[in-house]
């Protein structure tokens, strides 16, 4: 899991390396929450969490649950959430489950 913190735009970027499905959701959850709860990131002054989902071709129910938990954590910081999306299936899943109302979807 790659992450970058842009202090100029106050954006924390998390790059998800591929699909978010039941076979990898638990591992991704550990990696993402380790980053989000680390001292450096927790103390940093970021206002936007950008999820880079461009490598994802599929998100199943476990992946959607993971996204919900990430959104909830970011909301505790009053942070805006955006998602970079390259695949129409991913975009459809997020719109069908109305997660697009919880974060801004950006076609990339």
Would you state the pLDDT for residue 108? 87
Which residue has tokens 């461009």?
54
* Averaged confidence pLDDT in the chain: 96
Question: Number of structural domains, the chain?
Answer: 1
Tokens of 43: 């103390």
- What are the residues whose beta carbons fall under 8 Å from the beta carbon of 106, sequence distance 6 or more? 82, 83, 84, 85
**Residue 86 domain boundaries:** 2-107
CATH of the domain at 72: 3.30.750.24
pLDDT tens-digit map of 17-33:
999 999 999 999 999 99
pLDDT tens-digit map of 21-66:
999 999 999 999 999 999 999 999 999 999 999 999 999 999 999 9
pLDDT tens-digit map of 77-107:
999 999 999 999 999 999 999 999 999 999 9
């Amino acid at each position: 899991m790659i992450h970058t913190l842009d202090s100029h735009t106050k954006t924390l970027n998390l790059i998800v390396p591929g699909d978010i499905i039941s076979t990898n959701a638990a591992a991704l959850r550990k990696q993402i929450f380790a980053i989000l709860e680390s001292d450096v990131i927790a103390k940093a002054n970021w206002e936007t969490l950008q999820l880079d989902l461009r490598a994802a071709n599929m998100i199943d129910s476990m992946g959607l649950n993971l996204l919900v938990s990430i959104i909830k954590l970011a909301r505790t910081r009053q942070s805006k959430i955006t998602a970079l999306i390259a695949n129409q299936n991913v975009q459809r899943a997020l719109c069908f489950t109305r997660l697009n109302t919880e974060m801004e979807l950006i076609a990339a």
